[in-house]
Amino acid sequence: MDKDRLEEELEKIQQLLIAQEPVAQGISASVHGQYHISAKNLYRYLLLRSSDIRGIQGILSELGISSLGSAAGYVFENVSSALHLVKLLNDKPWKKDLSIESIGFSGSNKLLVDHTNALFNSKTKAHETEIMVTMPDEAATDKDLLKRLFLAGMGIARINLSHGDVELWQNIIKNLKSITGELDLPLRIYMDLPGPKIRTTELFVQDAPNEKIRDLEFIRLVQGDEVILTYMPAFGSNPVIGEKEMNIPFVGVSLPQVIEDLQIGHNVFFDDGTIHGKVVSKEGHRVRLSIIKVHKKKLRPEKGINLPDTFLNLPSLTGEDLELLPFVIENADIVGYSFVRNASDVGKLYGELDKLKDHKIGVVFKIENREAFDNLPLILFEAMKRPNIGVMIARGDLAVEIGFERISEVQNQILWLCEAGQIPVIWATQVLDTLAKKGIATRAEISDATISAQAECVMLNKGPFIVEAVQTLKNVLKRMEDHSLKKKNTLRALKVARKSVERIDNGEVPFGY
């Protein structure tokens, strides 16, 4: 490609951004003032990533010009600067379009730092990755453990409201206040709302007609086995099991919607994806699965269920979530939204916060299922209607939902989209997990931890060696922050960007333009 053709391709991109500026302005007008320019830039990034521009990136690099691979945070300025330099090489005049509001590299970084500081109640002047730690039950009684965690580098305490009770959480908060006061550190508490719990419940089998139903401690499974899912209250206190169901284990599920919404052909994953089944038949309140793959041979009660192909007719906020929300507002700095799937779910949480007259608490949107990822740009635009927001990449559930082979690709796309909106990201799930639980890290874990430095916060889960895990992560992050900020990327078309632009153009998401 010659320089004239390169200039033409860059002008096409710039003209697209200028032509769509009324849409960008409409989106910007609909969000909180903190995100006016960020919303514009995110929309421009969606436009940029809606087509494949890898063909011009190599040529730009050869000419010593930005290849647009690190343009997520300042799209219009980066495209315009590249076009300016190419025009200079072609001995052509160039005039900057002053009618388009935009920011450059420094302005983008400053906005990201400002938004991160606002969410995490910090005062850093440059990108510095925070460490969040899930509080073990011992934190309610062991103040020395909390002290060692803070001294090791923990900055944010996470309380998972799916486990424990109010008394336990209050004791943890009391000890956190005591230790942060003693160490003269800011107290920053993050609380996860439980959300809908999709889990296995009772396990049982009937070996032969007229024999008693046997409760099972676990089910041993191999490829080709069958199990039957059912919702126990619908199944009845005196269940009738047909002849064709003899010797086939029954698996209770925690929510009736699982049985109602599953369809033949849908995939079902148990226990973090270690057991994979597929629906082969459905009758009433019973769904029969054929086991496709088994990585863990025993299925037990209280194990998670992932349904990547199934749209569950579930509320994003459960009754339990709504009961806990006043407690969260009173005691936490940040709330984690556990089952957000679309922009409408964002509005539901914001509506509940408005009812409680809260306009201060930070909100983190946990991206843990395929639907949330597919809707991420529109979730972000809706989320920007309040200040102090962030995104958590919940890599465990997300990997099961989208496939383990895609998790690296998808987590990078989430990082790019959030960088475009100057929205802080929490990198979560299994970071230094073996170290926290067994006291020694794997090489793969250390490599994973180095990548996490791209995020604004990294979350560690509890374990007997959690203090050592925090110390190790702190050292890794410090070393990586001295080497890099974000990464340069090749810009193939992103499906999530193209689909989001189409939905906005079709008026599916009204922004008032």
Our count of domains for the chain comes to 2
Q: Is 218 among the domain residues? A: yes
Q: Is 45 among the domain residues? A: yes
Work out the average pLDDT over 349-354: 97
- Give the range of the structural domain holding residue 501, as residue numbers without chain letter: 3-108+490-505
Secondary structure element (H or E) that encloses residue 306, with its range: strand 305-306
Pick from 65-74, 239-248, 329-338, 504-513 the range whose average pLDDT is largest: 329-338
Q: Is 482 among the domain residues? A: no
pLDDT tens for each residue of 272-321: 899 999 999 999 889 999 999 999 999 999 999 999 999 888 889 999 99
Pick from 95-104, 298-307, 488-497 the range whose average pLDDT is largest: 298-307
**What do you get for the CA distance between the two ends of the chain, in Å?**
38
pLDDT band, very low/low/confident/very high, at 94 (cuts 50, 70, 90)? confident
Q: Is 93 among the domain residues? A: yes
| End residue of a domain, out of 306, 340, 366 | 306
* CATH value at residue 232: 2.40.33.10
Work out the average pLDDT over 32-56: 95
pLDDT tens for each residue of 426-450: 999 889 999 999 999 998 899 889 9
Q: Lowest-confidence range among 445-454, 478-487, 496-505? A: 478-487
**Residue 340, SS3 per DSSP:** coil
Give the pLDDT score at 485: 55
Q: Is 52 among the domain residues? A: yes
pLDDT band, very low/low/confident/very high, at 405 (cuts 50, 70, 90)? confident
Number of Cβ within 10 Å of residue 224's Cβ equals 9
Q: Is 446 among the domain residues? A: no
Q: Is 164 among the domain residues? A: no
Mean pLDDT of the residues in the chain: 92
306 in Cβ contact with 201 (< 8 Å): no
pLDDT tens for each residue of 154-198: 999 999 999 999 999 999 999 999 999 999 999 999 999 999 989
What is the rounded distance in angstroms from the CA atom of residue 159 to the CA atom of residue 375? 27
Give the pLDDT score at 137: 96
21 in Cβ contact with 75 (< 8 Å): no
Length in residues, the chain = 513
Q: Is 161 among the domain residues? A: no
Model pTM score: 0.92
Give the pLDDT score at 513: 37
